[in-house]
Amino acid sequence: MLPTPKEFADAVFGHERVSLLDGGLPKWLEEGRPVESGPIDIVQKSYKVPTLNTALVRHYNDIRKNIDNGNDSLNFEQVLDARPEPRFTGDASEPRPGLPSGHMPYSISVPFNSIIDPNTNKTLLNDDELKKLFKSKNVDLEKPIVLSCGSGVTATMLYTALEKIGAKKLAVYDGSWTEYAGKEGSPIVGRK
């Protein structure tokens, strides 16, 4: 299973032990692993007050500053867009009415489904295949990477894949394309 917004939020809010099922419940069941059904007893538990790990989140102003500084800036962060390629290029409409398609200047298209093993349609590609994919997109795993998508959900899938292969400087642009393209004056490449 790939990360959900809640799982990413758990890490953002200080939960250090977050686990994912690569392949999700369907794979778990296919492997004959144990499951339970029926009522459960929940024991109330106290948790520490969450604190925001701001290093894992980018906002609109961060993205605009990154674009304005240009990709040859020393502090440039690579922005990977997880939306389907036709929405990135501007060849397909966005599903949100009134929102243009296209992409942020300097961003790189890495559609979320490209990290899924086509033979299983459930699990992530193996590490070598993931490294090959990101290398083919000229993504430098040693440099800062910001993940974006339509609304900040599928970006967490790329986050997980990159973390799995050793990328350390990762963040998610929470507002993603919905916020970015919705703001007047945002530079857009391939606008449709």
- The domain spanning residue 112 has which CATH number? 3.40.250.10
189 falls within a domain:
no
**Do the Cβ atoms of 186 and 180 come closer than 8 Å?**
yes
- Answer yes or no: are the C-beta atoms of 190 and 103 closer than 8 Å: yes
Q: Which of 2, 137, 143 is nearest to 76 (CA)?
A: 143
8 Å CB contact between 137 and 108: yes
Instruction: Write out the H or E segment, with its range, that includes residue 78.
Output: strand 78-81
192 within domain boundaries = no
**pLDDT exceeds 80 at position 48:** no
Residue 3 has pLDDT above 50, yes or no: no
Least confident range of 13-17, 107-111, 133-137: 13-17
Mean pLDDT of 78-101: 96
Shortest CA distance to 123 belongs to which of 33, 12, 31?
A: 31
Mean per-residue pLDDT, 17-35: 84
Q: Which string of DSSP letters, residue by residue, matches 130-185?
A: HHHHHHHTT--TTS-EEEE-SSSSTHHHHHHHHHHTT--SEEEETTHHHHHHHSTT
Query: Mind telling me the catalytic residues?
Result: 149
Domain containing 101 equals 53-182
**Angle at 9 (CA atoms; ends 155, 123), nearest 5 degrees:** 50
Q: Is residue 83 part of a domain?
A: yes
Structural domain count of the chain: 1
- Which tops the pLDDT comparison, 2 or 63? 63
Conformation bin of residue 22: beta by default, left when phi > 0, alpha when psi is -120 to 50: beta
Domain assignment present for residue 46? The answer is no
Give the whole-angstrom CA distance, residue 87 versus residue 3: 22
Residue 108: closest CA among 131, 135, 70, 138: 138
In a domain, 72, yes or no: yes
Q: Could you tell me if residue 1 is inside a domain?
A: no
For residue 27, tell me if it sits in a domain: no
Establish if 127 belongs to a structural domain. Answer: yes
Note the pTM of the prediction, 2 decimals: 0.84
Residue 24's pLDDT band, with cuts at 50, 70 and 90, is confident
Average pLDDT estimate for 85-110: 96
Q: For the chain, what is the mean pLDDT?
A: 89
Predicted confidence band of residue 5 (pLDDT cuts 50, 70, 90):
very low
Cα 2 to its chain centre, rounded Å, is 10
- Quick one: tokens of 59? 């906002």
Convert the pLDDT of each residue in 104-114 to its tens digit.
999 999 999 99
Q: CB of 192 within 8 A of CB of 90? A: yes
Helix axes 5-12, 155-164, angle to 10 degrees: 60
Q: Compute the distance between CA of residue 74 and CA of residue 62 in angstroms, rounded to an integer.
A: 15
Bigger pLDDT: 42 vs 85? 85
